[in-house]
Structure 1
Amino acid sequence: MRHPITPAVRRDSPELHMDSREKLLEELRNGYRIFAAHGWGDLGDGHISARDPDRTDCFWLLRYGVPFAEVETSDFVLLNADGRTVEGSGDVNQAGFFIHQPLLAARRDIVSAAHTHTQWGTPFSAEVRNVEPITQEACLFFEDCVVFDDEEVQIQSLDGGSRIAQSLGRNGAIVLRNHGLLTVGTTVAQSVSRFVMLERVAEAHLKARNAKPISGESARRAKQDLTREGADRSAFEFLVNHHIKD
């Protein structure tokens, strides 16, 4: 489904600070290309959002129909809280708006959210359980991931997105029952790199059926190291360097 648009403001409007915005959109473009490199979103089933640095009540989503592997910074549409287009042109994924708008409105501390349907995350979500610290990577989400236990797999309203935001609370990740994974971050780099990590964690859970979780004390100690300053940025840059050649 797609969201209707209204005429756009010129992207070169003089009141806008382009440096920070251009950097944000470049990071957002790379996020979508990282998704594509993992084989995600080939049916357009996914979205990464980015709060605008100047119009902080607005956020960017990808124009509908653009293959994730071919995304350019000109392919993004800036939407306000009512779903009206502020800049850019083209329709957007309507479910994406319904999910991301309430999340970004409820969490002023975050800049980005990431979600798509993946090989391991989606089947893991059908088990309706939270991740446990069964691997080093899983410790990143210890006491920071929750489950949205609701059969509303088609998010068709802002109310549906608000329920997800309420379930997420102050956490950084959420398992959407029978749907998939979603992560949020203070940067696009953080939401995307943690989504990639959470997908690995879901894979480990489905493959290691008899895994023994590590203790809470050890998980917290590992998490402290995994969340050290610059760790998310470093992971994102590795993903960019490994998967994006241009």
Structure 2
Amino acid sequence: MHARTQAADSPALDLGGRESIYQPEQAGRIFPHVPDFDDAQAARRHLKQRLAGACRAFAQHGLDYGFAGHLTVRDPEHPHFYWTNPMAVHFSQVCVSNLILVDHQGTVVEGEHAVNRAGFVLHAAVHEAHPDIVAMCHAHTVYGTAYAALGRPLAPISQDAAAFFEDHVVIRAEAGAVAVEEKAGQSICEHFRGVKAAIHQNHGLLTVSRHSIDAAAFWFIALERCCRQQLILDASGHAPTLVPPDRSRYSREHVGSEYIGWLHFQPVYAQLAASQPDLLA
């Protein structure tokens, strides 16, 4: 596992009380704000909308593969339950009304569809072992799955890849095995302590968030993109110039945070909600 090292070797930025350098200093600008809810029903509605939007975003980015792939987010009122996409429904057809609520034993407690067995095995184990993790994403993607076969961490070849520097792990346990037994989920769940992503050898990519489904979904899309770039670079036969560790940590802290993942997802969601309003049905 990579130990996450703070970017102490770079000068700290004075953000003036802001969470990110990307938040505007000028007052009154139109800019996304993380919502805050006093009502559990409103919070739940928001989470379900964003989960459905994340599924549509996966479809838009070509991250579908039959019925494979599962995205989860904890219920705001009942954290031992999580919302997930329904089994055997294409990502592009997921909407608020067909999401299902599942407990850690894999029982559907709300909704009409069945749960994906592999989704239950992996996600339930991670959610149960890590109460701080609120969302998790996994899909069988082209580039992430190909890169996972190499069994190596992602190198900081760019600012984008540096967002994952010392913030992801390579998991070799249960490599290539179909995760339908509960022990398979338990064998990998401890790897997610303190990181936002994992490359599961011979299987694919997984991302988690302690912030939102928005962040988990965006960092999955970003990780798939980084794997594609790395494979293209490998195919060129040329050795890259890597971002140095101090610069990688600096980039990770400022462009690889949970907040930045959430922020990146906002235009993705806005475009989907405007062009595919049925996702809110």
> Which of the numbers 9, 21, 28 marks the counterpart of 2:51?
28
CA contact (8 A) 1:37 1:243 kept: no
Which residue identity does 1:225 align to in structure 2?
Answer: H
Structure 1 segments unaligned to the other structure (5+ residues): 1-15
Query: Is 2:101 aligned against 1:78?
Result: yes
2:185 aligns with 161
2:214 aligns with 189
State the aligned residue count.
Answer: 231
Greater Cα offset, 222-231 or 102-111: 222-231
The Cα shift of 1:83 comes to 1.4
1:138 aligns with 161
The Cα shift of 1:170 comes to 2.0
1:200 aligns with 225
Matches within 5 A, 1:161-240: 161-185=185-209, 186-209=211-234, 210-227=239-256, 230-240=259-269
Over 3 Å counting, the alpha-carbon distance change for 1:164 and 1:228 in structure 2 is closer
The Cα shift of 1:228 comes to 5.2
Distance 1:40 1:206 in 2: 17
1:121 aligns with 144
Which residue identity does 2:243 align to in structure 1?
Answer: I
Distance 2:43 2:60 in 1: 26
Distance 2:131 2:68 in 1: 26
Distance 2:258 2:90 in 1: 33
Which residue identity does 2:60 align to in structure 1?
Answer: A
- Residue 105 of structure 2 aligns to a residue whose secondary structure is coil
Distance 1:37 1:233 in 2: 18
CA contact (8 A) 1:121 1:199 kept: yes
- TM-score normalised by L of structure 2: 0.78
Name the Cα RMSD after superposition: 1.6
Taking only the aligned residue pairs, the percentage that are identical comes to 29
Which residue identity does 1:189 align to in structure 2?
Answer: D
1:97 aligns with 120
Distance 1:195 1:167 in 2: 17
Greater Cα offset, 201-210 or 97-106: 201-210
1:4 aligns with none
The Cα shift of 1:168 comes to 2.5
Q: Deviations over 1:148-170 (max 9, x none)?
A: 11324310122111112122222
Greater Cα offset, 72-81 or 228-237: 228-237
The Cα shift of 1:238 comes to 2.1
Task: Could you list the structure 1 runs, at least 4 aligned residues long, displaced by more than 3 angstroms after superposition.
Answer: 227-230, 241-244
Distance 1:118 1:34 in 2: 13
Q: Deviations over 1:133-152 (max 9, x none)?
A: 11111111111100111324
The Cα shift of 1:241 comes to 3.4
1:39 aligns with 62
Q: Deviations over 1:91-120 (max 9, x none)?
A: 111000000001111111111000101121
- TM-score normalised by L of structure 1: 0.89
CA contact (8 A) 1:126 1:179 kept: yes
Distance 2:61 2:104 in 1: 31
Over 3 Å counting, the alpha-carbon distance change for 1:47 and 1:108 in structure 2 is same
Distance 2:262 2:248 in 1: 22
- Residue 155 of structure 1 aligns to a residue whose secondary structure is coil
